[in-house]
Amino acid sequence: MTSFAALWPIGLLAVSSIVMNVAWYYHLKQPSLGLLAAIGLAWGIALFEYALAVPANRIGIAHYSLPELKTIQEVLSLAAFVLVAWALFGETPTVSQLLGFALIAGGAYMIFRSPFG
């Protein structure tokens, strides 16, 4: 059974992934911003993301291996991307994109199950 303490890094990484996806893509909703202003906006948002990701990884390393932490982050980043693309741009994933995400999730399963040693 997973301990509550092991869920903290997952929660922090989930919020971190949403914030980082906003940092990566929100500036596209502001086409009048110059490039330097868009970079500044993204970096300002990303600063908050780092305040979540760093503790998530420091807490998480007590419960997960480094490859497992990275895998959790990547899967959550993809899920956050889908949410941000829908919320900010009204885009929904296509069937082929969902199948691609499912293949990535299959890879994540392999990381956690380690059937090959």
Burial category of 21 from C-beta neighbours within 10 Å (exposed 0-12, middle 13-18, buried 19 and up): buried
pTM (predicted TM-score): 0.86
Q: What is the pLDDT of residues 17-53, one digit of tens each?
A: 999 999 999 999 999 999 999 999 999 999 999 999 9
Q: What is the mean pLDDT of the chain?
A: 92
The number of folded domains in the chain is 1
State how far the alpha carbon of 5 is from the alpha carbons of 61, 71, 102, in Å: 11, 18, 28
Tell me which residue range forms the domain holding 13.
4-113
The 8-class DSSP code of residue 62 comes to T
